Every structure is written in structure tokens, then in C-alpha cells.
Structure 1
Amino acid sequence: MARVKNTPVTRRRRKKILKLAKGYFGSKSTLYRTAHEQVMRALQYAYRDRKQNKRNFRRLWISRINAGAVQNGFKYSKLIHGLSLANVQLNRKVLADLAISEPTVFASYVELAKDAIANPAKYQVK
């Protein structure tokens, strides 16, 4: 009797890969071997880019905060230092959003940071 090469486990595994390869161009979506190669590469890219996405957004937020700080006559590094001295717990995402959507509120945070740098004893927690 001939050897059976299409066991349920193998079929399930191959169908899973072909399902992940749905929408790929040409034989990459129909042939198991090329689909498997493409899916593995795509998963590697997805893993890498999930990390890079975080870095890219942080860079974007920092550049937006810096632009808002420069408009108010301040630098990004001094702003962050002043806000930490003033015990302000806003993250960069929120600060960047404030710099774009609420410039007056952002300007008040810049003034707070300037004051905290000028008078650090005023903001120390006792």
C-alpha cells in the first residue's frame, strides 16, 4: 500500500500557512513552499517593525514637543528637565498632542518648566 503523505496534521499546518499568505502576489499565495518562505519573512518584518514603530513614534513626539518648545522660546531638553523638576507626570505622547492641539495649555507647561528651573526649591517634595 502507498504511503499517505496528507495527514490531517500536515494538511492543517499547510492550510494555516496558506491562510496567512492570502493576498500575496502570484505563487506566493498558492504554493506551500513559496508561501511558507514569504510568511516567515513577513512575520520577521512584523516583529521588527513593532519595535521600530515605538521608536518612530517617540521620535515624532520629541520633534513635535521641540517645535512647540521653540515657539515658546525654550529647548526640548530644558523643557523635559523643568517638567521633571516640577513633578509633572505627562508623557511625551500627551505633551506632543498638547503642543499641536492646545498650544496655550502647552505654553503654560513651558512657563511651569521655566519657573521650575529658575526656582527648583519651590517644587521639591518634602
Structure 2
Amino acid sequence: MARIKRGTTTRAKHKRILESAKGYYGRRKNTIRIARQAVEKAGQYAYRDRKVKKRSFRALWIQRINAAVRAEGLTYGQFIHALKLANIDLDRKVLADIAMHEAEAFSAIIAQAKAALPKEDKKAA
């Protein structure tokens, strides 16, 4: 049986890893052992941060809504509660976008939400 040389497959594997490590700093971009570790760690960060990204954006939307609602005399929690009572089904992403770009429309949503609050909650607000 003939001997099989594995140089072609090894070079292909190395090339794939080094292409992934392109742009890295120092020996991480051109030394296969270090590049392999760097690429693997980058993949772990990417996997983790795809989940974290969703949390970060939700937190940002909540901050934007809270800032816009406080200018109208409500808190974020009171506003979300009032939206539920008024049967306004807008998610936080859309609410934040409206608050940022269409202030008049957001003021109208806040007015509808305030109208749906019971009497004793209106006194507190």
C-alpha cells in the first residue's frame, strides 16, 4: 500500500485558521498554535455575545423609554403598566424608536396610557 502524505490537508487546515486570524495582533495572526487558540476564543466570545447583545439592546430601549416618559411625569414601570391596561401592544424596541424620532406620537401614546390608569394611580403620578 502506498504512503499517504498529509501535507495538503494540513496546509488547508492551517490556511483556514490563519485566514480567520487575519488582522489579529502579533503572533496570533501568523503562528498556527497561537492563532488556533485565538480563533477558538474569538468564537467563544462571539457565541456568548450574540446572547448578551439582546440583553444590552433591551436595557438601552428601557433607558430611552424611561427618559422620555419621565419628561411627561411617569416612571417606566407606571408607563408599562398603563400600556397593559390600555391594551397597547407595542414592544420596547418600537416604543424606544418612537420616543427617539417621533416625540408627538409618543406623547399621544403616553396620554392614552395615562387615561387608562385608575384614579388613585393618577394622583401618585
Could you say what the CA RMSD is over the residues aligned between the two structures, in angstroms? 1.9
Does 1:81 find its partner at 2:99? no
Identity of aligned residues (%): 46
Runs of 4+ residues over 3 Å off in structure 1: 1-5
TM-score (norm 1): 0.84
Q: Unaligned stretches of 5+ in structure 2? A: 120-125
Structure 2: distance between partners of 1:15 and 1:40: 15
Does 1:14 find its partner at 2:14? yes
Q: Aligned ranges for residues 55-94 of structure 1 at < 5 Å?
A: 55-94=55-94
TM-score (norm 2): 0.85
Partner residue of 2:106?
A: 106
Q: Unaligned stretches of 5+ in structure 1? A: 120-126
Deviations 1:19-78 (A, max 9, x none): 100111121111111000000111111111111111111111101100111000111111
How many residues of Structure 1 are paired with residues of Structure 2 in the alignment? 118
Structure 1: distance between partners of 2:89 and 2:9: 52
